Amino acid sequence: MVIHGLDASVPLGVPRRSPDATIRIVLDDLTTGGVGEHFGMSIEGRSLQATDLDWSYGSGAPLRGPAEYLAVALCGRSVPEGRLDGEPLSLAAPEPPP
């Protein structure tokens, strides 16, 4: 529900309505729960840092910004220009068939 809410609010520039604790759980689930499998995004070798709450993940090339925009990027959605600082996330390389 949080991501679907962001799908509507981010393009409109409306601040997120979910509490910090909720978006933190979403970010944790996205980063530790197989974002590559579900959304095809690669976070290997990346450092993700929320600038509006105490949350970070990983190490490597940084991507910083408000938690809502990090969540949207992790789900493979478009993020409005200038909302995140750092190299955008990329699609994960497809796994070869067994």
How many structural domains compose the chain? 1
Pull the structure tokens for residue 60: 């490597």
Which has the closest alpha carbon to 48: 25, 71, 29, 26?
A: 71
Domain housing 45: 2-80
Place of tokens 């478009």: 78
What pLDDT does 57 receive? 95
35 within a domain of the structure (yes/no): yes
What pLDDT does 6 receive? 84
Pull the structure tokens for residue 95: 């796994």
Number of H helices, E strands in the chain: 4, 6
Which has the closest alpha carbon to 19: 60, 68, 64, 80?
A: 68
41 within a domain of the structure (yes/no): yes
Which pTM value belongs to this model?
Answer: 0.85
Tens place of pLDDT per residue across the chain (98 aa) = 788 778 787 877 888 888 899 999 999 999 987 666 678 888 989 999 999 999 999 999 999 999 999 999 999 888 989 999 999 988 876 666 66
Strand partners, 86: 63
